[in-house]
Amino acid sequence: MAGNVQAPAPVGARLQQDRKARSGWQGGARVWEETEQQAKKLKSSGDEDGEQHRKLPKRKIVLLMAYSGKGYHGMQRNVGSSQFKTIEDDLVSALVRSGCIPENHGEDMRKMSFQRCARTDKGVSAAGQVVSLKVWLIDDILEKINSHLPSHIRILGLKRVTGGFNSKNKCDARTYFYMLPTFAFAHKDRDVQDETYRLTAETLQSVNRLLACYKGTHNFHNFTSQKGPREPSAQRYILDMYCEEPFVREGMEFAVIKVKGQSFMTHQIRKMVGLVVAIVKGYAPESVLARSWGEAKVDVPKAPGLGLVLERVHFEKYNQRFGNDGLHEPLDWAQEEAEVAAFKEQHIYPAIVSTERHERSMAQWLSTLPVHDFSATAHAAAKVPSPLEGSEGDGDSD
């Protein structure tokens, strides 16, 4: 029994053990516990803003975007709806995957103060869309975002802006173009109605004379839906509208109509083009143009969505105030012009030409004009304005 009893350690040995404990053995355990607790705190706090360990401040920026809208149901994201894919679905995914926004910002875009200049409609493309948002300014940010985007969606530029910048509210004007085959202007009684048609200088002059009538402020309630003739928001200001010289692509002649306005309502541009085409072809009298701005209901034909492209957005007032303040750059994108032009040549123009050749959307729409009733007004009385109307979100949604 006595042999099994452990002898007490010498006094010197016990003192040495106490010194070791005091100098780190027990302290090491405490340090480890404290470190683990700190790590848990960092992890829990990091869940709120995503990868907080970056220690990068979020900055308000704008991105210059170009995209081909074919196959997409417009620009604006429909959160919770995966049935209809939009441009913003792909953009937000790329922003998250590149690491410049946390994942929860992708789920709730308000957290990154996201705003678009124009809410382009189904199938509509853009060469100069601008969106504003807050991001982490990571290294090689454009390259990383683009690496997670399909080739028909590109981020071509980035600029820092003021903290309160909103791309929709700060936008003074938008410029769209509408690319169409020139046989759309072939007179129904005098000209061939196929792709062998070539636009004459005389017809181009007539087209531009009619397009110029849109300049100024007019009541465009007949050029959209759900808008009464007495609603103030039906009044829209057009700065310019004209048709450029024609050009040939793959044996078919095309022309580009450009229009610059403060803002546009849903389908407004397509109806503006559609009415001019109907007049030039001889299906409608010129008088219907002025009548369409009156209070009476006029059934204005809507040209196909194919061919409509958001070309650029304008920030004149912002540039005057902040563009030369020494802190911010003017939003003019002059240095990106070559890339914008290259994207149009590579993705936008070929998509329009190819789709028109295979789907013949313009030819099919033109076949409806002979039966279109431009004089009918009795079947649709003027609409009583509603206090719920006039709030079309981005306003610019053709």
Q: Are 254 and 353 in contact (CB under 8 A)?
A: yes
For Cα atoms 184, 200, 362, give the angle at the middle one, nearest 5 degrees: 10
Helix extents (H) in the chain: 11-20, 26-49, 87-98, 103-107, 141-147, 201-212, 268-281, 287-291, 316-322, 337-343, 349-359, 361-366
Cα dist. 371→40, 162, 301, 368 in Å?
A: 72, 53, 11, 6
Closest CA to 243 of 286, 270, 208: 208
Closest CA to 305 of 130, 69, 76: 69
Residue with tokens 């541009």: 269
Which residues 6+ apart lie within 8 Å of 226 measured at CB? Answer: 383, 389
Closest CA to 175 of 224, 232, 117: 117
- Would you give the distance in Å from CA 87 to the centre of its chain? 7
Q: Are 31 and 113 in contact (CB under 8 A)?
A: no
Q: Are 197 and 253 in contact (CB under 8 A)?
A: yes
Coil vs helix vs strand at 141: helix
| Rounded-to-integer distance, Cα 187 and Cα 193, Å | 8
C-beta neighbour count of 193 within 10 angstroms: 15
Residues identified as active-site: 121
Which residues 6+ apart lie within 8 Å of 100 measured at CB? Answer: 135, 136, 137, 138, 141, 144, 145
**Structure token pair of residue 35:** 């470190």
| Rounded-to-integer distance, Cα 195 and Cα 352, Å | 15
C-beta neighbour count of 316 within 10 angstroms: 15
| Rounded-to-integer distance, Cα 297 and Cα 204, Å | 29
